[in-house]
Amino acid sequence: MTKTRLSKSAINNLNYSGKVKDHYDLGCKGLLVRVGKNSKTFYIYLNRGMHKLGSFCARNKHGIDLDTARAEAINFRNLNATAQTGFKNVTFLYYLENQYQKDAIGLGKTVSDATVSTIKRQFKHCHSKLCHKITDDDFVEFVFNNPHLKENSVRKAYYALSGLLNTLVKKKRISLNPLEPRSLNADSERPINTYSIDRAEIIKDLLNDDFGKKSKYSRGFSKETRLITALAIDGGYRPSEIYRNTKDCFILDEEPRTQVFSEICKTSKPRVVPIFSIYLSNAMQDYLKNGYIENQKKYMFYNKTTKSHFASSCYRSVWKVIKEKYGLAGRFYDFRHTFATDAYKATGDIKLVADLIGDNIETASKYYAQTNISSARSRLESIL
């Protein structure tokens, strides 16, 4: 870390480095330029948090110049002062219980009661703190107090808290998300589980209006819930890529398919996935004609109660019925693993698999490109 009065020429002369270096600007409080392996990026450091302003570009064509960065840094500081004044007496617990879900709906998102309960339980030590006083140290304290948690649980807690804080930022209740960026991966040692059952059979069953009516979990499920579940099984989607998607992204012509844009994809990797089941394609066409509810944001699956898209809890009871009826042992997410594994076995094209599921080739290769020794031996013997 260095401190100097930055200038355009000084930033131009900073050498790229494999190790990230921060250069603070003495001409503007909190402003810094971070130099990496092949980038120079402006940030403002405020309330123990970093907020990205934009990439440095001397001519302001594909980024921002120094003058613009200084102006934006000043605006951020002013916004922070205003936000804290108008929201200074609201505690974390009060916001969580009374306002968080309303704010999320206003942003076109849905936060389930289960998510609120989980955050409330995990961050008890934050209950009495004022929202604008929450810092990264509060997350560190959570980790320190729960040494038994696996990395996957820590990751989920981090993103749950970060989601709440991002909502506060977007509603201009605080100026910055105070959590420091972290690379938290899911448990790498968890074995990949797949199902050998015919997925087409389950999809066909789901499209029956009587599905689940006599189960102990429900007297029946809505058509939207069954379609969301069926689509996730059919194309290996993350469920949120279905229930957060819009009407225009479901192309139901001679080659039915679904578009997944980067905004709703966990890896920000857009893709197009065919709808493989003819029964599902026909059911989607029928739903579009007879079941679709017009709404301002054009969500394909609109929940009239919450006035937004369906939430992550929508498929869980359906999954319980499927699991019990077909004798499956695992998670609903394992249908994604099943889809990817079957796609690789059928094509041998790991890039195609990565494109279909919205992952990079490295991740897809690690989990789905399992080498078949017998097959490899026979293929090698033919060329030796």
Q: pLDDT by residue (tens digit) across 114-173?
A: 899 999 999 999 999 999 889 989 999 999 899 888 888 899 999 999 999 999 988 888
Residue 144's φ and ψ, nearest 5 degrees, are: -65, -35
- Averaged over 178-206, what is the pLDDT? 82
Q: Are 53 and 73 in contact (CB under 8 A)?
A: yes
Which of these, 336, 344, 334, lies nearest to 371 by C-alpha position?
A: 344
Q: How many CB atoms lie within 10 A of CB 328?
A: 18
Q: In which band, very low, low, confident or very high, does the pLDDT at 60 lie, cut at 50, 70 and 90?
A: very low
Q: How far apart are CA 246 and CA 259, in angstroms?
A: 9
Nearest-angstrom CA–CA distance, 345 and 357: 15
Quick check: 186 pLDDT over 70? no
- pLDDT tens, residue by residue, 348-357: 999 999 999 9
H runs (alpha helix) in the chain: 8-12, 66-86, 92-98, 100-106, 113-122, 136-145, 151-170, 199-206, 223-235, 240-243, 278-290, 316-326, 334-347, 350-357, 361-368, 373-381
- Would you state the pLDDT for residue 58? 62
CA-closest candidate to residue 179, choices 163, 191, 194, 202: 163
State the pairing for strand pair 31-35/250-251: unpaired
Please give the pLDDT value at position 51. Answer: 78
Lowest mean pLDDT among 5-14, 156-165, 366-375: 366-375
Segment 200-222 shows an average pLDDT of 86
Torsion of CA 124, 127, 129, 134, to 10 degrees: 60
Report pLDDT for 83. 55
The secondary structure of 107-152, three-state, reads: CCCCCCHHHHHHHHHHCHHHCCCEHHHCCHHHHHHHHHHCCCCCHH
pLDDT given for residue 313 in this prediction: 80
pLDDT of the residue at 172: 82
Q: Contact 139/179 with Cβ under 8 angstroms?
A: yes
Cα(191)–Cα(39) distance, integer angstroms: 37
Contact assessment for residue 257 and residue 273, using Cβ atoms and an 8 Å cutoff = yes
Q: Is 2 helix (H, G, I), strand (E, B) or coil?
A: strand
Three-state secondary structure call for residue 368 = helix
Measured distance between the N- and C-terminal CA atoms of the chain, rounded to whole angstroms: 57
pLDDT band for position 370 (cuts 50, 70, 90):
low
- pLDDT by residue (tens digit) across 228-272? 999 999 999 999 899 999 999 999 999 999 999 888 887 888 999
In this prediction, what percent of the chain has a pLDDT beyond 70?
Answer: 90
Per-residue pLDDT for 377 more than 70?
no
Nearest Cα to Cα of residue 355 among 273, 248, 243, 246: 273
Alpha carbons 180 and 138: distance in angstroms, whole number? 11
pLDDT over threshold 90, residue 366:
no
Supply the pTM of this predicted model.
0.60
Distance, CA of 246 to CA of 260 (rounded, Å):
9
Average pLDDT, the chain: 86
For residue range 271-282, list pLDDT tens digits in order.
Answer: 999 999 999 999
